[in-house]
A and B are shown apart, each in its own frame.
Chain A
Amino acid sequence: MSQQYQPTVVVIGNGMVGYKFCEKLIAKTTAYNIVVFGEEPRRAYDRVHLSEYFSGKTAEDLSLSTANWYSDNNITLHLGDTIQEINRTEKTIHSVRGVVQSYDYLVMATGSSAFVPDIPGVEKDGVFVYRTIEDLELIQDFAKTARKGAVMGGGLLGLEAAKALIDLGIEETHVIEFAPRLMPRQIDSAGSSMLQAKLESLGLKMHLKKSTTNIAGDGKIAALEFADETSLDVDMLVISAGIRPRDELAKLAGLEVGTRGGIVVNSNMQTSDEAIFAIGECALYDGMIYGLVAPGYEMAEVVAAQLCDSAKTFTGYDMSTKLKLIGVDVASFGDPFVGEPDSRSIVFEDSNKGVYKRINISNDGKYLLGGVLVGDADAYNILLQTVNNKIVLPPNPEDLILGARGGEGDAGAGVMSLPDEALICSCESVSKGSICSAVTDGGATSLDEIKKCTKAGTCCGGCVPLVKDLISGTLAANGAYVKNNVCEHFDYSRQELFDMVKLNGIKTYDEVLDHLGKGDGCETCKPVVASILSSLWNDVIVKQNTIQDSNDRYLANIQKGGTYSVVPRIPGGEITPDKLIVIGQVAKKYNLYTKITGGQRIDMFGAHMNDLPEIWEELIDAGFESGHAYGKALRTVKSCVGSTWCRFGLHDSVSFAIEVEERYKGIRAPHKIKGGVSGCIRECAEAQSKDFGIIATDKGWNLYVCGNGGSKPQHAQLLASDIDKETCVKYLDRFLMFYIKTADSLTRTATWLNKMDGGMSYLKNVVVNDSLGIAAQLEAEMQELVNTYHCEWKEAVQNPELRKKFNHFVNAPQEKDPTVQFQPMRDQVKAQEW
Chain B
Amino acid sequence: MELEIATAVEWVYVCQADDIPQNGGGCVKVGDEQIALYNFTRRGEWYATQNLCPHKQQMVLSRGMIGSSGDACEPKVACPFHKKAFSLLSGECLTGEDYQIKTYPVKVEGDRVFIGLE
Looking at the assembled complex, report how far the CB atom of B89 sits from the nearest CB atom of chain A, in whole angstroms: 13
| A452 contacts B by Cβ under 8 Å | yes
Cβ–Cβ contact B98 & A810, under 8 A = no
Q: How far is the CA of A452 from the CA of B21 in the complex (A)?
A: 33
A521 — which chain B residues lie within 8 A by C-beta?
42, 67-68
Looking at the assembled complex, report how far the CB atom of B46 sits from the nearest CB atom of chain A, in whole angstroms: 13
B59 — which chain A residues lie within 8 A by C-beta?
562, 817, 819-820
The residue from A522, A811, A820 contacting B78, defined by CB atoms under 8 A apart: A522
Known: A451-B96, A810-B28, A815-B29. A526 touches B56 (CB 8 A): no
B24 — which chain A residues lie within 8 A by C-beta?
545-546
Looking at the assembled complex, report how far the CB atom of B38 sits from the nearest CB atom of chain A, in whole angstroms: 10
Known: A520-B42, A809-B28. A69 touches B98 (CB 8 A): yes
Cβ–Cβ contact B76 & A448, under 8 A = no
Known: A523-B65, A561-B58. A546 touches B21 (CB 8 A): yes
Q: How far is the CA of A488 from the CA of B73 in the complex (A)?
A: 11
Looking at the assembled complex, report how far the CB atom of A444 sits from the nearest CB atom of chain B, in whole angstroms: 12
| B92 contacts A by Cβ under 8 Å | no
B48 — which chain A residues lie within 8 A by C-beta?
none
Cβ–Cβ contact A558 & B85, under 8 A = no
| A553 contacts B by Cβ under 8 Å | yes
| A439 contacts B by Cβ under 8 Å | no
A560 — which chain B residues lie within 8 A by C-beta?
56
B57 — which chain A residues lie within 8 A by C-beta?
834
| B101 contacts A by Cβ under 8 Å | no
A488 — which chain B residues lie within 8 A by C-beta?
69-70
CB within 8 Å of B: which of A482-515? 488-489, 510, 513
Cβ–Cβ contact A452 & B96, under 8 A = yes
Cβ–Cβ contact A549 & B65, under 8 A = yes
Residue of A nearest to B39 (CB): A546
Total A residues in contact with B, Cβ cutoff 8 Å: 42
| B90 contacts A by Cβ under 8 Å | no
| A519 contacts B by Cβ under 8 Å | yes
Known: A452-B96, A562-B60, A810-B15. A520 touches B20 (CB 8 A): no
A801-827 vs B, Cβ < 8 Å mask (1 yes, 0 no): 000010011111001010110000000
A201 — which chain B residues lie within 8 A by C-beta?
none
CB within 8 Å of A: which of B1-55? 14-15, 19-29, 34, 37, 40, 42-43
| B91 contacts A by Cβ under 8 Å | no
Cβ–Cβ contact A522 & B65, under 8 A = yes
Cβ–Cβ contact B76 & A65, under 8 A = no
Q: How far is the CA of A811 from the CA of B19 in the complex (A)?
A: 8
Known: A810-B19, A810-B28, A834-B57. A520 touches B80 (CB 8 A): no
A66 — which chain B residues lie within 8 A by C-beta?
98-99
A820 — which chain B residues lie within 8 A by C-beta?
59
B99-110 vs A, Cβ < 8 Å mask (1 yes, 0 no): 100000000000
Cβ–Cβ contact B60 & A519, under 8 A = no
A809 — which chain B residues lie within 8 A by C-beta?
27-29, 34
B21 — which chain A residues lie within 8 A by C-beta?
545-546, 805
Cβ–Cβ contact B75 & A65, under 8 A = no
Q: How far is the CA of A553 from the CA of B78 in the complex (A)?
A: 14
- Interface Cβ pair total, 8 Å cutoff: 105
Known: A546-B24, A834-B56. A523 touches B78 (CB 8 A): yes
Residue of B nearest to A67 (CB): B98
Looking at the assembled complex, report how far the CB atom of B22 sits from the nearest CB atom of chain A, in whole angstroms: 7
| A554 contacts B by Cβ under 8 Å | yes
Q: How far is the CA of A488 from the CA of B85 in the complex (A)?
A: 15
Known: A519-B73, A520-B73. A810 touches B26 (CB 8 A): yes
Q: How far is the CA of A762 from the CA of B36 in the complex (A)?
A: 50
Cβ–Cβ contact A554 & B63, under 8 A = yes
Residue of B nearest to A525 (CB): B67
A812 — which chain B residues lie within 8 A by C-beta?
29
A458 — which chain B residues lie within 8 A by C-beta?
96
Q: How far is the CA of A513 from the CA of B66 in the complex (A)?
A: 14
Known: A69-B98, A545-B24, A546-B24. A834 touches B58 (CB 8 A): yes
A475 — which chain B residues lie within 8 A by C-beta?
none
Looking at the assembled complex, report how far the CB atom of B110 sits from the nearest CB atom of chain A, in whole angstroms: 17
Residue of B nearest to A808 (CB): B27
Looking at the assembled complex, report how far the CB atom of B101 sits from the nearest CB atom of chain A, in whole angstroms: 12
Cβ–Cβ contact A546 & B98, under 8 A = no
| A151 contacts B by Cβ under 8 Å | no
| A547 contacts B by Cβ under 8 Å | yes
The residue from B14, B63, B68, B83 contacting A553, defined by CB atoms under 8 A apart: B63
| A272 contacts B by Cβ under 8 Å | no
Known: A523-B78, A811-B29. A562 touches B65 (CB 8 A): no
Looking at the assembled complex, report how far the CB atom of A40 sits from the nearest CB atom of chain B, in whole angstroms: 20
Q: How far is the CA of A525 from the CA of B67 in the complex (A)?
A: 10
Chain B residues with a Cβ under 8 A of chain A: 14-15, 19-29, 34, 37, 40, 42-43, 56-60, 63-70, 73, 75-76, 78, 80-81, 83, 85, 95-96, 98-99
Given A554-B63, A558-B81, 7 new contacts (CB under 8 A): A448-B95, A526-B65, A546-B66, A550-B64, A553-B63, A558-B63, A811-B29
What are 9 A-B pairs at a CB distance below 8 A? A66-B98, A513-B42, A522-B78, A523-B64, A523-B65, A550-B63, A550-B65, A562-B59, A810-B27
